[in-house]
């Protein structure tokens, strides 16, 4: 390896922190400025440089330069400034970089690009992208439903890169063991197909057998090449996400973030609210607005929890209502997804059925105490709807979860004001505190990023064979007790600044549950130790 092979490798490069001895040993004499910096000095200098950038996009591009050249320095900075960097590295700014990925392209960031037209290249792609690294965690997307911004083809690779950055920043997953992937199955976005800079396949999305065969070949190959793999699916479309998860979840350690991750964090937020109000989960009425991948995933997690808490399945379903594009879902509709169908109601049970295409009318009719938005439809939780929620219960739970910022069903500030401080609010993107009538309300971020890093750490540390519903339940329960819920204006979920602590708790809870269920394959039997030993720290 010559000097520049080392300096150009972000896993090896320490830049100006290479000591004089290392410079001699590695053939770096004279190719770096003479002063040897410490990691702390590099971080202080880089942070000062970062602070001069004015827009979030510039900030992200600058941080990606650091990421591309020196992973240790990047993660040292990220862990020092986790709450500040999170919205820049990840959601919402990642949405801007995805939309502009092909136009802004400078570096592949060690990602792998799987091409639907070349299944024969799956193995080579995985091997080439992994190099000699021992891959334990893959985040893969086909970018059909990126956040709420839809189909972005090859550009969507940035969501895999971004999710993995959070895995390491939040839970200390060794960055050398991760692999971000995109499956380019085409795109239906005309604007991309017509953009001369677009770097993906220029055809419509491939569907049906050819698509599922490709997915299957990818799974088989990845499992063969990387025997201790945990496979994370991100932002697949509503047609495919649940199908893929259902096909593999009982066979390999795998996870769909939008379905399961969002389910965990939202249930955690609901429990956080009920801890404060002193109410029981089984007394709540749940309304899902936007019953897609995330909406149906969350609803089914909360439903399972009500059953665990003692309701029969039939009693539990009675407490759930789902609104999608058609309005309140009825079982006579022929365009329901398999995930929506169990939540659909009998039209004849509603005298005003024809009016139930309107969310306000639904809220007035079914009287929910919990309203969760995953609709991608901005500003749909109106003042009237919030006031109607307040008629149903003393402290309504209202979570507008659609991302990025422009797509949120409501802002935290409006929800607090319109409910006169009564609503428990958590949002998908980070929200500032809301000061209202002398109370400062801290707004929880119900984003799967709070829990998927810890869940992954627990899966990897325990070497769990599968990710079960019980392990997912354990993850949700482990979120309580971190914030002081007795304080006026307390958030219903731990603030993102606590994500390292949250990740350790979630990881231990998941690993212990895996062990209890006989699914842990790790030689280490003390799960707390397995978790803490697996953690990677950014240092030279
Ligand atoms: N906070 C989080 O952690 C988190 C996690 C996952 C998804 N999300 C957000 O949730 C949103 C949905 O994501 P998804 O992956 O489920 O997408 P999806 O496409 O699977 O689901 C969106 C659903 O909303 C429905 N919808 C569209 N217009 C509607 C309308 N006018 N009224 C009611 N429903 C309508 C669609 O038909 C679809 O069923 C996105 O904005 C995403 O960013 C947030
Ligand atoms: O990526 C996020 O911010 C959360 C979630 O997975 C989403 O799709 O919106
Ligand atoms: Mn997602």
CATH number of the domain residue 417 falls in: 3.40.50.720
Q: Kindly identify the ligand whose nearest atom is closest to the C-alpha of 149.
A: 1
Helix, coil or strand: residue 286: strand
| Residues 508, 525: Cα–Cα separation, whole Å | 12
Closest CA to 156 of 118, 183, 117: 183
Distances from the Cα of 380 to the Cα of 52, 371, 430, angstroms: 37, 12, 19
> What would the mean pLDDT of 343-364 be, rounded to a whole number?
98
Residue 474's pLDDT band, with cuts at 50, 70 and 90, is: very high
Paired tokens of 251: 């066979």
Assess whether 203 and 118 both reside in one domain: yes
**E-strand stretches of 40-99:** none
> What would the mean pLDDT of 65-82 be, rounded to a whole number?
98
Active site residues: 90, 163
Closest CA to 198 of 143, 156, 155: 155
Distances from the Cα of 125 to the Cα of 35, 112, 179, angstroms: 40, 6, 11
Domain finish residue from 449, 465, 491: 449
Q: Is the CB of 91 under 6 A from ligand 2?
A: yes
ipTM over 0.95: yes
Mean pLDDT of the chain: 97
Helix, coil or strand: residue 105: coil
Distances from the Cα of 529 to the Cα of 177, 462, 479, 494, 523, angstroms: 20, 10, 20, 24, 11
Q: What is the pLDDT of residues 233-290, one digit of tens each?
A: 999 999 999 999 999 999 999 999 999 999 999 999 999 999 999 999 999 999 999 9
Q: Is the CB of 240 under 6 A from ligand 1?
A: no
Kindly state whether residue 508 falls inside one of the protein's structural domains: no
Q: Kindly state the percentage of the chain with pLDDT values over 70.
A: 100
**82-89 vs 157-171: helix axis angle to the nearest 10?**
170
Domain finish residue from 393, 419, 449: 449
Domain residues for the domain of 436 are 260-449
Q: Is the CB of 448 under 6 A from ligand 1?
A: yes
Residue 482's pLDDT band, with cuts at 50, 70 and 90, is: confident
Per the structure, how many domains does the chain have? Answer: 2
Q: What is the pLDDT of residue 380?
A: 98
Q: Is the CB of 257 under 6 A from ligand 1?
A: no
Assess whether 202 and 130 both reside in one domain: yes
Assess whether 248 and 265 both reside in one domain: no
Q: What is the pLDDT of residue 512?
A: 98
Closest CA to 68 of 104, 27, 103, 36: 104
Q: Kindly identify the ligand whose nearest atom is closest to the C-alpha of 241.
A: 1
Closest CA to 228 of 177, 279, 300, 163: 177
Q: Is the CB of 94 under 6 A from ligand 1?
A: no
Atom of ligand 2 nearest to the CA of 429: 3
Q: What is the pLDDT of residue 196?
A: 98
Given a cut of 90, whether residue 371 has pLDDT beyond it is yes
Mutate to test the pocket of ligand 1, among 90, 294, 372 (most ligand atoms within 8 A of CB): 294
Cis peptide before 338 (omega within 30 of 0): no
Assess whether 216 and 266 both reside in one domain: no
CB 269 within 8 A of CB 293: no
Given a cut of 90, whether residue 10 has pLDDT beyond it is yes
Mutate to test the pocket of ligand 2, among 95, 164, 447, 496 (most ligand atoms within 8 A of CB): 447
Residues 6+ apart with CB under 8 A from 479: 265, 268, 271, 272, 450, 451, 493, 494, 502, 505, 506
Q: What is the pLDDT of residue 221?
A: 98
Q: Is the CB of 235 under 6 A from ligand 2?
A: yes
Supply the CATH number for residue 157's domain. Answer: 3.40.50.10380
Domain finish residue from 391, 426, 449: 449
Mutate to test the pocket of ligand 1, among 374, 382, 385 (most ligand atoms within 8 A of CB): 374
Q: What is the pLDDT of residue 484?
A: 84
| Residues 3, 9: Cα–Cα separation, whole Å | 10
Atom of ligand 1 nearest to the CA of 296: 16
Residues with CB under 5 A from ligand 3 (ion): 235, 258
Cis peptide before 92 (omega within 30 of 0): yes
Residue 481's pLDDT band, with cuts at 50, 70 and 90, is: confident
């Amino acid at each position: 390896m010559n000097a520049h092979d080392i300096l150009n490798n972000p896993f090896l490069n320490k830049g100006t922190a290479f000591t004089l001895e290392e410079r001699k040993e590695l053939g770096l004499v004279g190719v770096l400025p003479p002063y040897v910096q410490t990691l702390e000095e590099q971080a202080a200098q880089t942070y000062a440089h970062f602070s001069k950038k004015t827009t979030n996009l510039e900030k992200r591009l600058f941080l990606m330069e650091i990421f591309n050249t020196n992973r240790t320095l990047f993660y040292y900075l990220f862990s020092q400034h986790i709450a500040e960097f999170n919205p820049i590295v990840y959601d919402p700014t990642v949405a801007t970089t995805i939309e502009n990925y092909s136009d802004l392209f400078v570096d592949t960031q060690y990602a792998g690009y799987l091409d639907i037209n070349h299944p024969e290249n799956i193995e080579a792609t995985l091997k080439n992208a992994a190099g000699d690294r021992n891959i334990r965690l893959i985040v893969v997307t086909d970018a059909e439903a990126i956040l709420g911004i839809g189909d972005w083809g090859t550009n969507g690779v940035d969501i895999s890169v971004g999710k993995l950055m959070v895995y390491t920043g939040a839970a200390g997953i060794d960055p050398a063991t991760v692999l971000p992937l995109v499956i380019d199955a085409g795109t239906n976005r005309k604007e991309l197909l017509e953009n001369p800079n677009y770097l993906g396949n220029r055809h419509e999305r491939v569907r049906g057998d050819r698509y599922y065969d490709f997915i299957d070949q990818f799974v088989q190959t990845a499992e063969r090449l990387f025997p201790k793999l945990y496979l994370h699916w991100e932002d697949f479309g509503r047609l495919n996400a649940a199908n893929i998860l259902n096909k593999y979840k009982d066979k390999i350690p795998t996870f769909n973030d939008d379905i399961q991750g969002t389910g965990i964090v939202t249930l955690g937020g609901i429990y956080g609210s009920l801890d404060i109000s002193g109410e029981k989960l089984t007394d709540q009425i749940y309304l899902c607005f936007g019953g897609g991948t995330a909406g149906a995933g969350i609803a089914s997690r909360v439903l399972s929890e009500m059953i665990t808490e003692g309701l029969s399945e039939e009693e539990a379903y009675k407490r759930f209502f789902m609104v999608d594009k058609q309005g309140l879902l009825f079982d006579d509709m022929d365009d329901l997804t398999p995930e929506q169908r169990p939540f659909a109601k009998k039209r004849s049970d509603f005298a005003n059925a024809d009016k139930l295409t309107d969310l306000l009318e639904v809220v007035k009719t079914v009287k929910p105490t919990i309203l969760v938005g995953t609709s991608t439809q901005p500003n749909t939780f109106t003042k009237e709807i919030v006031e109607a929620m307040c008629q149903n219960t003393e402290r309504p739970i209202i979570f507008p979860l659609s991302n990025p910022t422009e797509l949120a069903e409501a802002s935290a500030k409006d929800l607090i004001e319109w409910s006169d401080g009564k609503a428990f609010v958590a949002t998908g993107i980070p929200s500032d505190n809301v000061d209202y009538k002398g109370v400062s309300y801290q707004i929880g971020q119900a984003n799967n990023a709070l829990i998927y890093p810890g869940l992954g750490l627990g899966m990897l540390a325990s070497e769990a064979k599968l990710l079960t519903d019980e392990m997912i339940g354990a993850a949700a329960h482990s979120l309580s007790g971190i914030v002081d819920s007795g304080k006026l204006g307390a958030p219903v979920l731990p603030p993102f600044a606590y994500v390292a602590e949250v990740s350790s708790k979630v990881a231990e809870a998941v690993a212990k549950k895996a062990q209890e269920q006989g699914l842990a394959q790790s030689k280490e039997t003390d799960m707390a130790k397995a978790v803490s030993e697996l953690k990677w720290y950014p240092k030279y």
